[in-house]
Structure 1
Amino acid sequence: MTAPSPSLLPVLGAGLLTVIAGAAMSLQGRANGFLGAVLGHAVFAALISFVTGLLIVSAVLLCSARSRRAAIALLGLLRTRALPWWMLLGGLSGGLVVIAQATTVPVMGVAMFTMAFVSGQITGGLIVDATRLPPGGKQRLSALRILGVLVVIAALVYGAHERIGLGVPLWAPLLPFASGSLTAAQQACNGRIRAATGSAVVATAVNFTVGLIALGLATAVIMVAGVGWAGFPTQPDQWWILLGGALGVLFIAFTALTVARLGVLLLSLFSLFGNLAGALLLDWLLPIPGSLVSPTTILSALGVLAGIVITLMPSAGSPRGPACRT
């Protein structure tokens, strides 16, 4: 068997990291879904998730002199307008993702949430990659890249059709689809911050800080409207539902590192496969009401893999080079 070419190895390495990040997202979805049910509202679960994530990133930032220098450099870039301020808003999308998880995972399971989320993610990725927003620059839309995305979408629709037929409400996939679409822009913005500062830690910290501010405001609004906290995880077997923030840190940090190498579309496809594979394992090993692992779902996952392979073919577009500096 011929070994992968040297130019392809960095892409495959970045792809593997992104698959791991996607698998972490599926576990985050299950954790935040349960946490929202315990706390009484999806926004409360998102707030706790972002508080946990920001504490972890802040600890890393304080312990790393390199990351602190990168944070100071980011302030300088914003002051001189070398980096547009609106690139800091990626965290708003992250907050919407967690709210979507906590709202819809208990209704339709992790796998169905994943199918809706990544449909929006790859659609957004195809659009964002055609702009100059990604850190690796604009990437041409070849016929194979478009075909790969169409294969993925077809596979996801095939798998989702079975769930809709079992009674999942039609509105349920819309929220994760919208959050997935915005995630493509979030990943590009995080990648630009990482490229400009040389630090994935700083990009992750910005993401969680902005998201936490937005979720804090949302929490205040719904509490004024009369929604109160229903409780807090107290059972020994519930400790893992507080890990959503830590898993979010893993996802944001890994994708901020790999987006410049892969581009937003390929990053979305690798993340999608890891997310879907993790979701299938969760719904199979730890099923909840609404979750289902059937031959249809497995065939859907295989179709996603086929779409990734098509998009990775050499004529689909050249691999990304090193991140460009802003």
Structure 2
Amino acid sequence: MKKKNTLTIPFLMLATIGAGMLSPMQSAVNGKLGEYVQDGNLCAVISFASGLVVMFAIIISNKTYRKQISSILSLIKKRKVPLWNWFAGLCGAMVVFSEGASASYLGIATFQTSLICAMLLSGLLCDRFGIGVPEKRPFTLLRISGAIFALIATLLVVSPQWNTPHMLLLAILPFLAGLLAGWQPAGNATIAETTGSTIVSITWNFIVGFTALTIMLCIRILLGKASFVFPDIWWMYLGGPLGLMSIALMAILVRGLGLLLLGVASTAGQLVGSVLIDLLIPALGNAVYTVTIIGTLVALFGAIITSIPDKKQN
């Protein structure tokens, strides 16, 4: 049995690192889409729409899923869970919006590092104050150290932009999105438990995000502040499906690794994948600075030490 575990865990870790790389791939696709349509809001609508098409196909093909998703409105009316849980999809909308508005300009490594560091900080605060989690988790030396490393990493990756204020403003977008996304998993988990299905929870997230973004876009179109165009490049529609693939793979891999190893491995995949995309795809036009690589490593180290369980909890 030990020999099997020795072989299985490294394989699952590598698979999770690979799955984590789907996130920067999604950022790269949505970033180029946003650059193409010149509108982060429109980019997010298109990305969510492509994901919804896939999710609806899955829901329609399964009777149980159809029944579970049709019960959502009645569950909301009964107020069995706090209302904010049903709007967790707005966090995902903010992430995708920031991808379309800033990822192609900042570079995937800078974007992902800023996003991940903010998610780490948000997760620590949510744990500490019991926001969306069943039990409060006090600050420990390791967790505080991880937060400090996250802040240092953020400062490092945005440092090449100090002389360009408009780029610094763009870097704020993924950071704000990450702060919101840090508590999104708690809402998603609650919805999955309430409806009895993770698939339904993911679909509801896409519905909420898509609805909010579409309303915003329609208002802007009516005010003459936006227009709707379809990109004619097929891979620009892959942002939503790439996000779904990442979610699905993580749901499978967590069973063999557990949350601790999954979190560390997926973070490694996101950060390493971001740097590789910027380095290996020059067509994206993203420069990789030495401080970007250093900041990526610092963020990874911060994620690792923050994930180490406190001895008092063992």
Scaled by the length of structure 2, the TM-score of the pair is 0.83
Asked if the contact 2:158/2:171 (under 8 Å) is kept, the reply is no
Give the Cα–Cα distance (whole angstroms) in 2 for the partners of residues 288 and 217 of structure 1: 33
**Residue identity opposite 1:43 in structure 2:** N
Q: 1:35 to 1:315 in 2, by over 3 A?
A: same
2:290 to 275, 295, 305: 295
How far is the alpha carbon of 1:105 from its aligned partner? Answer: 1.6
Give the Cα–Cα distance (whole angstroms) in 2 for the partners of residues 171 and 3 of structure 1: 51
Asked if the contact 1:133/1:189 (under 8 Å) is kept, the reply is no
Give the Cα–Cα distance (whole angstroms) in 2 for the partners of residues 299 and 189 of structure 1: 33
Asked if the contact 2:118/2:150 (under 8 Å) is kept, the reply is no
1:122 aligns with 2:120: yes
1:51 aligns with 2:49: yes
Match of 1:180 in 2: 178
Give the Cα–Cα distance (whole angstroms) in 1 for the partners of residues 116 and 87 of structure 2: 20
How far is the alpha carbon of 1:239 from its aligned partner? Answer: 1.7
Match of 1:306 in 2: 301
Larger helix share, 1 or 2: 2
The DSSP-based 3-state class of the residue aligned with 1:82 is coil
CA RMSD in angstroms, aligned pairs only: 3.4
Match of 1:210 in 2: 208
Q: 1:3 to 1:295 in 2, by over 3 A?
A: farther
1:262 aligns with 2:259: yes
Spell out the pairing of 1:92-107 with structure 2 (5 A cutoff).
92-107=90-105
Asked if the contact 1:25/1:247 (under 8 Å) is kept, the reply is yes
Give the Cα–Cα distance (whole angstroms) in 2 for the partners of residues 138 and 47 of structure 1: 36
The DSSP-based 3-state class of the residue aligned with 1:173 is helix
Asked if the contact 1:30/1:105 (under 8 Å) is kept, the reply is yes
1:48-85 CA-partner distances (Å, limit 9, x unpaired):
11111111111112223443344356455434322223
**Residue identity opposite 2:286 in structure 1:** S
Give the Cα–Cα distance (whole angstroms) in 1 for the partners of residues 34 and 304 of structure 2: 36
How far is the alpha carbon of 1:302 from its aligned partner? Answer: 2.3
How far is the alpha carbon of 1:22 from its aligned partner? Answer: 3.8
Long gaps (5+) in structure 1: 320-326
Asked if the contact 1:109/1:291 (under 8 Å) is kept, the reply is yes
Give the Cα–Cα distance (whole angstroms) in 2 for the partners of residues 33 and 101 of structure 1: 5
Asked if the contact 1:118/1:268 (under 8 Å) is kept, the reply is no
Asked if the contact 1:89/1:210 (under 8 Å) is kept, the reply is yes
Q: How many residues align?
A: 308
How far is the alpha carbon of 1:300 from its aligned partner? Answer: 2.3
Q: 1:154 to 1:239 in 2, by over 3 A?
A: same
Match of 1:275 in 2: 270
Match of 1:322 in 2: none
Long gaps (5+) in structure 2: none
1:315 to 297, 310, 313: 310
Give the Cα–Cα distance (whole angstroms) in 2 for the partners of residues 300 and 141 of structure 1: 23
How far is the alpha carbon of 1:129 from its aligned partner? Answer: 1.7
Spell out the pairing of 1:1-326 with structure 2 (5 A cutoff).
19-20=17-18, 22-72=20-70, 74-75=72-73, 77-134=75-132, 137-164=135-162, 169-229=167-227, 231-234=229-232, 238-253=233-248, 262=259, 271-288=266-283, 291-315=286-310, 318=313
Asked if the contact 1:270/1:308 (under 8 Å) is kept, the reply is no
1:273-313 CA-partner distances (Å, limit 9, x unpaired):
33222211110111356622243322222222322332233
Give the Cα–Cα distance (whole angstroms) in 1 for the partners of residues 181 and 250 of structure 2: 11
Asked if the contact 2:110/2:158 (under 8 Å) is kept, the reply is yes
How far is the alpha carbon of 1:24 from its aligned partner? Answer: 1.8
Give the Cα–Cα distance (whole angstroms) in 2 for the partners of residues 288 and 316 of structure 1: 47
